[in-house]
A and B are shown apart, each in its own frame.
Chain A
Amino acid sequence: MGYPHKPHPKETLLLSKYFGDPEARTYKGWVKRGGYEAWKQAQTMAPAAITEAVKESGLRGRGGAGFPTGLKWSFMPKEKHKAHYLCVNADESEPGTFKDREIMRWTPHALLEGTAIAMRAIQAEVGYIYIRGEFTEPSAIMGQALAEANAAALFGDLKIYLHRGAGAYICGEETAMMNSIEGKRGNPRIKPPFPAAFGVFGLPTTINNVETLAAVPPILTNGPAWYKKMSLSNPKSTGTKLFSVCGHVQQPGNYEVTMGFPLKDLLYELCGGMRPGRTLKACIPGGSSVPILNRDETERCLLDYEGAVEQGTMLGSGGVIVFDDSADLVYQIMRLARFYAHESCAQCTQCREGTAWTTKILERILAGQGKTSDLDLLLDLAENMTGKTICVLSDSCAAPVVSGIKKFRGEFEDYIAGKRNGRVRAER
């Protein structure tokens, strides 16, 4: 176990090329590796030309939603009447995902460079990098890189600040993040108004994920056509993507592959397959908020936005959670529901009540006190939790429950019928 692993020949190293190379963390080391060339180039370009290049590259948001980055930037007002802001989403908290952490730990200047370029494109003078509170090491490394960049007066009038979160998954939702930066509880806001019109402090704002921004410098230096060509399946999904693989594989870690790469090859070749004597049972390919795949679907799934949808799931953040035949899916789905119940901001009833009751019913089933009607009750609850709230946390709790019951119903029924031992710990 552990990282960095030796790169696999089937990986395409763009963002992860310098993972494991401590010298790349320093300003000098980064410049020696061609760093900040893209920033120099960006300074000679008009903001609209930068946005156009990113649009042309086909880059889509790597935080989970997959929204086209250049298009998002183009929503910002062209005529500047008020201050503009950039928020960098480094609140990586989606179970299964640990890619942004590695970008910040090994190549902090890649993120700073991408941040500065994005700020120029959207004409922002202030950028906040919102790092989750638990990321003590990445935060320290980012702080050092930022101090070096500031000492070299790299960014002119642009001000980039680190903002430390304090333990709230929901702050990874863009409007909750803006509230958190404003010194408020991290409750998501109703949209519209959208951030480009009324964002942080009520001013035009763009929010981008760490991995998205780190991909921007190579797009400028190599050209959008070069980036766009990196696509193994659907041309709407371009470039490379970091996949964080965890759970029951021999070599968990971050693997960078071209969009459209088969999930099967990622698991069986790059990650060394299952542990000896074990077989693949299920896989969540895009972080805990997306539907679970069974073995057949996993082996058919291509890793791009469209390929994941084709198998009934989503690419999400690229956090791949692997379960082998030893995993108790009923227990693990309860554990995911408990995660969402813990992280619900509690402002919408469907989410506050729905996540809590989903957890309680699953705990009841695990304790051997489930009723046959409980599975329908869970599905009914899930129905009421989907598409009815301000943000998608509630939907995210429903996704693994619905797909889990649909694909592994027998395991739930065994608990209800008393064929399996009750297994649940007391509430914390």
Chain B
Amino acid sequence: MSVSARPTHDAATEAYQPVFTGKALEELQALLGRYPTKQGALLPALWLVQQQRGWISDRDMTEVAALLGLTPAYVKGVVTFYTMYHQHPVGTHFVQVCTTTPCNICGAEDVVKALLEATGAKELGATSPDGKWTVIEVECLGACGFATPVLINDDFIESVTPDKVPEIVRKYT
């Protein structure tokens, strides 16, 4: 567990507040009981970090690595493999729009345009000036019969068409 003591590149600027204290630590301990190895709890532990912080920083990865007996580099390798873990801060409302073929032929790209416009995010992957919205295109959300599905944080919204977009965006502001 000596890895936790190793300073990371941004450790000097401010004191690091660990994620896993109190309730979060209890949750992690419960997770450890589900897998025969500590490493098994890595994906759920990263989810816990993201739920608390909104994204996963290098220092968070170092903390998780120390708790699970892994190296920070290994944890980073896992984080970068999975597209749902954010490696930088995103808007308060993180919007994922499916534009894979089945949704694409039903007009998904127009839904993307409408969302970029209505949220003020303007560009894919960029965050709106008020810090509230980030819109990205994603590959298949698994709801192809309900084109176009949009995931706003954990809210899964089906059958979105461009004309419904302003109303949906209003609900979150």
Min CB gap B57→A, angstroms: 17
| CB neighbours of B96 from chain A (8 A) | 134
Interface-located stretch among B12-20, B133-141, B163-171: B133-141
Interface-located stretch among A8-16, A112-120, A160-168, A388-396: A160-168
Most chain B CB inside 10 Å of its own CB: which residue of A247, A323, A428? A247
Task: Identify 10 new A-B residue pairs, CB closer than 8 A, beyond the known A166-B83, A167-B83, A184-B42.
Answer: A95-B100, A134-B142, A163-B44, A183-B35, A244-B144, A245-B145, A246-B147, A332-B101, A332-B104, A339-B101
Question: How extensive is the interface on chain A, given as a class?
Answer: 35 or more
Given contacts A134-B96, A164-B47, contact A95 B151 (CB under 8 A): no
Contact check, B83 vs A95: say whether CB atoms are below 8 A apart.
Answer: no
Closest to A135 in B: B142
Closest to A168 in B: B82
Contact check, A3 vs B77: say whether CB atoms are below 8 A apart.
Answer: no
| CB neighbours of A336 from chain B (8 A) | 100-101
Contact check, A182 vs B47: say whether CB atoms are below 8 A apart.
Answer: no
Min CB gap A106→B, angstroms: 14
| CB neighbours of A327 from chain B (8 A) | 105
Instruction: Report the Cα distance A182→B78, complex, angstroms.
Output: 11
Min CB gap A205→B, angstroms: 12
Instruction: Report the Cα distance A6→B120, complex, angstroms.
Output: 40
In A267-288, the 8 Å CB interface with B consists of 288
Contact check, A163 vs B43: say whether CB atoms are below 8 A apart.
Answer: yes
Contact check, A183 vs B68: say whether CB atoms are below 8 A apart.
Answer: yes
Contact check, B39 vs A93: say whether CB atoms are below 8 A apart.
Answer: no
Closest to B45 in A: A183
Contact check, B145 vs A253: say whether CB atoms are below 8 A apart.
Answer: yes
In B47-105, the 8 Å CB interface with A consists of 47, 68, 77-78, 81-85, 96, 99-102, 104-105
| CB neighbours of B151 from chain A (8 A) | 134, 136
Summarize A's interface: helix, strand, loop or mixed. Answer: loop
Min CB gap A411→B, angstroms: 14
Q: Does B156 contact A (CB under 8 A)?
A: yes
7 smallest beta-carbon distances between A and B, as pairs: A183-B42, A167-B84, A166-B82, A246-B144, A167-B83, A252-B145, A183-B39
In A128-143, the 8 Å CB interface with B consists of 132-137
Min CB gap A363→B, angstroms: 14
- Give chain B's interface residues, CB within 8 Å of chain A: 34-37, 39-44, 46-47, 68, 77-78, 81-85, 96, 99-102, 104-106, 109, 124-125, 137-147, 151, 154-156, 158-159
Contact check, B145 vs A254: say whether CB atoms are below 8 A apart.
Answer: yes
Contact check, A166 vs B142: say whether CB atoms are below 8 A apart.
Answer: no
Instruction: Report the Cα distance A164→B156, complex, angstroms.
Output: 16
- What would be 24 A-B contacts, judged by CB atoms less than 8 Å apart? A1-B145, A92-B142, A94-B140, A95-B101, A95-B140, A98-B142, A98-B143, A101-B143, A134-B141, A163-B43, A164-B44, A167-B83, A167-B84, A182-B40, A185-B77, A201-B35, A247-B105, A252-B147, A253-B145, A254-B145, A288-B100, A321-B102, A335-B101, A425-B109
| CB neighbours of B68 from chain A (8 A) | 183
CB contact between A164 and one of B35, B43, B106 (< 8 Å): that residue: B43
Min CB gap B77→A, angstroms: 6
Q: Does A107 contact B (CB under 8 A)?
A: no
CB contact between B102 and one of A96, A133, A159, A182 (< 8 Å): that residue: A96
Contact check, A168 vs B139: say whether CB atoms are below 8 A apart.
Answer: no
Q: Does A248 contact B (CB under 8 A)?
A: yes
Contact check, B139 vs A169: say whether CB atoms are below 8 A apart.
Answer: yes
Contact check, A3 vs B139: say whether CB atoms are below 8 A apart.
Answer: no
Instruction: Report the Cα distance A132→B82, complex, angstroms.
Output: 11
